[in-house]
Structure 1
Amino acid sequence: MDLLTALGAALAAAHFGAPLAYYAAARRWLKTPWRIKPDPAYLPAVTVAIPTYNEARNIEEKLEDVYRQDYPRDRLEIIVVDSASTDGTAERAKRWAAAHPDADVKVVEEPQRRGKASALNAALATARGEVFVITDADCRWPQRDALRRAVSWLADPAVGAVTCLKKPTADGPATVEAGYRDRYNVLRLAESKKWATPIFHGELAAYKTELLRKIGGFPLDIGADDSHTATKIAAMGYRAVAAEDLWCVEAVPRNGYHRWRIRRAQHLLQHLLKMPAAEAPPPMRPILLAEKYLHLANPWLLPAAVAALATAATPPALALLAAGAAALALRPYRTWAAAQLYLMAAAVRNLQDKELIWDKQDK
């Protein structure tokens, strides 16, 4: 075997071997006990923050979504922070609030659009809840006791933040997204059982308000504000977990799906680059290091392997390339390959624009 063929084969083995090894470790972690004691009787004051921009189609249904929760009304505050919408989102939120006087709803209108993190910080500044929950206007909580479930995990003094697992809606792009989410959710649960996951979900993420304020709120210079705050809280020695009994339904855009995936990948890469592994507590450090490698470095081994094998053009090299092409017939492999392309595109895009403020996409 010539040098280029050997190099290409080694790069391909490393590219596929590292995530497979991590996934195998994750499957073992799933078998470990939680060492967390959720308490369903724990019912602190909760603030739910809903940042909006041109969400007129969704805001009333989202408010109903939160309103339907079986959490005690006298312990639930809802803050809608509208970032200079042009479609009447704030007016619809105010109208809904007026029609539901038993709900504690505040509508904060920002004079200009500054991004999601800025809106969340505006809500955090006046939040009265001991627990601060963030959610998106275009997602839904299918469980009427979602808030109770989330908060129950925070009853344990060792837990500082908790998030949901996710299911996509609709068909089309959502079918691809579902395949990706299946393995994604396994990793989030496994990391949580090990100690903490560095990847949170803005559809439903709950934090102890005191800890959020200690870390200075949500970062303004990167995306993935939900994940970064949770990881900063974990760096303080608390656990940040994805709860196995907590689910949200996320809307997936029918148009612009690839752009949506790239933007989300951009924000995740920004978070992982900004968070030093040295700051993570020892139980979380291998998790953070693995996620950094898998997102920041590993994707680039794939094109390097393909380039080396194509340049070598030896029978073994061509056989490996043919096997890789044939594997695209398998949905899990296509899902994996697409994720690598999104991560590489996101890394390049981050050199030009961080996409901290983005165009609204219909879902």
Structure 2
Amino acid sequence: MLDILALLQVSAAFIGIGPFVFHWIRMKKYSNQSMKIPPEPSSWPSLTIVLPVWNEEMVIQKKLEDLVKQDYPKDKMEILVIDSNSSDSTMDIFHKWNSEHSHDVKVKSIQMPSRLGKSAAINRILLEPLDTDAIVITDADALLADGALKRIGRWLSDPNIGAVCGSQQILGNSESNHIIDEKTYRSFYHDLRIGESTVFSSPIFEGSLAAYRNSLVLGHQIDATYNADDSQLALLINRSGSRSIMDSELCFFEYLPSSKEAASIRRLRRASGLVHLFSRNKPASFSSINRNFSRIMRIESWIHLIMPLLVLISLISMFFHIFISAFSVVTDVPLQVNHTGLLIIDSMFLAFLLFGNKLRISLILRSFFVSQWTLIVANFGMYRGVDYRYWEQDIESRKSLIEK
């Protein structure tokens, strides 16, 4: 029995995590080779800044003010607010702000007939006869760094770049475990996104600030039955042969959810969108477009769809192995050397987890297993048909944003 458990534990861990570790090491190396951003163009691309909202009365005015203060030619930008049938005063505040504040930016709005989710709202935008060069989609609770739009404009002056997204900078000094876990997760996976962008493209985008070339996305539709509108559009860009990249210096600022429960829901929504994305977009379909991107898609599909299950099998086998081995030691039943060694390794592994926030390795392990559990729940939710498209805003993080 111990032999079977040991074999399951080690083989599932090696087969499951091995490709991920190899991919991370490879992408970490590439992430240190910074991509060269094009110089400022003689003529800036025109941008439609899309702001999807639903019940954002707390932050919409601050968000609009944040956008119009961006250092970008005002005749080259317009703001398009799309409201998913808000039940609060979001649109009243928007119309009041637009009528009472003088600005040189064209501002307009679209009203959705009902709340259908962000992906459906983006589909509505993709059917608009926009005469600009690109859309910039940004969330109501995200603030842009100074010069963010100009970095987008510079990237889009390169005809090979079809999409570019920003890098999240977390606001606040909370030391809650769920916030520490999110920061650790973000720093670890950020290297993957930058490395993939350097190789060719990243399939996973940051929807809080992402720009897409209109000639490649307008007239198309994404799957509105699940989240990940940002990454769906990135794949659409790649199917055209263009690149979708993350820029580490294109920053936006957000407060994380204040409670553990709200953070878990947000994490699950993100994971659900990605497992749907990779289950419905086969890596082989990109092989004729770009082999490097097809390889990235293959690894990311493994990471999101297969690795969590193998990690779960390995952990279950580990706990049974620890229990039976410990029982054998207590009852004076001799253990083989290999099982004794594995018991010691397992005990050290658990000890690292118990150190919590005191060691870097402990933070990485805890963040990793939280993400794996979230992906397991998201995968089971996908097969059960659970809908994660709708959510309630985190009030405390929005209060922090307007007080900033």
| TM-score range normalised by the length of the shorter chain | over 0.9
SS class of match (2:88): coil
Q: Deviations over 1:49-105 (max 9, x none)?
A: 000000000101110111110111111110111111111101111111112343211
SS class of match (1:283): helix
Structure 1: distance between partners of 2:35 and 2:245: 10
2:185 aligned with 1:184, yes or no? no
2:136 aligned with 1:111, yes or no? no
Shift, 1:326, TM fit: 1.4
Aligned to 1:249: 253
User: Partner letter of residue 133 of structure 1?
Assistant: V
Bigger drift between 58-67 and 311-320 goes to 311-320
Aligned to 1:318: 343
Shift, 1:30, TM fit: 2.4
Aligned to 2:30: 29
From the superposition, tell whether residues 286 and 39 of structure 1 become closer, same or farther in structure 2 (CA, over 3 Å). Answer: farther
After TM superposition, the score normalised by the length of structure 1 is 0.93
2:375 aligned with 1:343, yes or no? yes
Aligned to 1:259: 265
Shift, 1:188, TM fit: 0.8
Aligned to 1:279: 285
Shift, 1:31, TM fit: 4.3
Structure 2: distance between partners of 1:207 and 1:39: 18
From the superposition, tell whether residues 145 and 310 of structure 1 become closer, same or farther in structure 2 (CA, over 3 Å). Answer: closer
Aligned to 2:328: none
2:335 aligned with 1:303, yes or no? no
* Unaligned stretches of 5+ residues in structure 1: none
SS class of match (1:201): coil
From the superposition, tell whether residues 302 and 354 of structure 1 become closer, same or farther in structure 2 (CA, over 3 Å). Answer: same
Aligned to 1:151: 153
User: Partner letter of residue 275 of structure 2?
Assistant: L
- Aligned partners of 2:74 and 2:105 also within 8 Å: yes
Bigger drift between 202-211 and 1-10 goes to 1-10
Indicate which of 127, 132, 144 corresponds to 1:129: 132
The number of equivalent residue pairs is: 361
Aligned to 2:225: 221
User: Partner letter of residue 211 of structure 1?
Assistant: L
Structure 1: distance between partners of 2:215 and 2:137: 15
Aligned to 1:120: 122
Structure 2: distance between partners of 1:2 and 1:118: 52
From the superposition, tell whether residues 174 and 40 of structure 1 become closer, same or farther in structure 2 (CA, over 3 Å). Answer: farther
SS class of match (1:147): helix
From the superposition, tell whether residues 129 and 359 of structure 1 become closer, same or farther in structure 2 (CA, over 3 Å). Answer: same
User: Partner letter of residue 262 of structure 1?
Assistant: L
Aligned to 1:56: 57
Shift, 1:6, TM fit: 2.2
Bigger drift between 297-306 and 123-132 goes to 123-132
SS class of match (1:2): helix
- Pair member with larger Rg: 2
Shift, 1:32, TM fit: 4.3
State the superposition RMSD in angstroms: 1.9
- Aligned partners of 1:94 and 1:107 also within 8 Å: no
User: Partner letter of residue 109 of structure 1?
Assistant: Q
- Aligned partners of 1:53 and 1:360 also within 8 Å: no
Bigger drift between 261-270 and 110-119 goes to 110-119
User: Partner letter of residue 319 of structure 2?
Assistant: A
Aligned to 1:200: 205
After TM superposition, the score normalised by the length of structure 2 is 0.84
User: Partner letter of residue 230 of structure 1?
Assistant: A
Shift, 1:340, TM fit: 0.7
Q: Deviations over 1:38-59 (max 9, x none)?
A: 5444412110000000000010
From the superposition, tell whether residues 38 and 225 of structure 1 become closer, same or farther in structure 2 (CA, over 3 Å). Answer: farther
Structure 2: distance between partners of 1:218 and 1:36: 29
Bigger drift between 173-182 and 144-153 goes to 173-182
Bigger drift between 271-280 and 64-73 goes to 271-280
Shift, 1:336, TM fit: 0.9
- Aligned partners of 2:197 and 2:245 also within 8 Å: yes
Q: Deviations over 1:259-315 (max 9, x none)?
A: 111111101111111112122221201111111101111011122112223334334
User: Partner letter of residue 251 of structure 1?
Assistant: Y
- Aligned partners of 1:51 and 1:119 also within 8 Å: yes
- Aligned partners of 1:32 and 1:194 also within 8 Å: no
- Aligned partners of 2:63 and 2:141 also within 8 Å: yes
From the superposition, tell whether residues 4 and 278 of structure 1 become closer, same or farther in structure 2 (CA, over 3 Å). Answer: same
- Aligned partners of 2:48 and 2:78 also within 8 Å: yes
Aligned to 1:47: 48
Q: Deviations over 1:177-203 (max 9, x none)?
A: 111111121111100000000001111
